[in-house]
């Protein structure tokens, strides 16, 4: 089954309410084109909203730098173990 609002595919046995956007496919406005388009625009605005304070955590910012640091340490370890430095 495909949700009319968020266009996500899901099992029909999961029920009429979409777990991603909350649209009720069995509701009274399920076949109203204007209601579907309004819900689609609201879902798009909600999912694309610029909110770095609530979406980007401190861990998300630290992981790439920890990877760079680990790569540098491993590179220096290889150079020291091969006696390329000192």
For the CA atoms of 68, 70, 76, 78, the dihedral, rounded to the nearest 10 degrees, stands at -120
In the chain, where are the structural domains located?
A: 12-47, 52-81
Can you tell me the distance from the alpha carbon of 5 to that of 17, in angstroms, rounded to the nearest whole number?
A: 11
> In the prediction, which pLDDT does 65 show?
97
Q: Using CB atoms within 10 A of its CB, is residue 3 exposed (0-12), middle (13-18) or buried (19+)?
A: buried
User: What does pLDDT average to in each consecutive run of 10 residues of the chain (86 residues)?
Assistant: 88 86 87 91 88 82 96 93 72
Q: Is the pTM of this model over 0.85?
A: no
What SS3 class is residue 17? strand
Can you tell me the distance from the alpha carbon of 69 to that of 53, in angstroms, rounded to the nearest whole number?
A: 25
> In the prediction, which pLDDT does 39 show?
92
């Amino acid at each position: 089954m495909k949700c009319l609002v968020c266009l996500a595919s899901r099992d029909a046995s999961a029920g009429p309410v979409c777990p991603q956007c909350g649209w009720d496919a069995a509701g009274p406005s399920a076949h109203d084109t204007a209601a579907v388009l309004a819900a689609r625009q609201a879902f798009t605005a909600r999912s694309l909203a610029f909110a770095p304070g609530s979406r980007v955590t401190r861990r998300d910012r630290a992981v790439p730098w920890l990877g760079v640091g680990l790569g540098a340490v491993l590179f220096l370890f290889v150079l020291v173990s091969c006696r390329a430095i000192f």
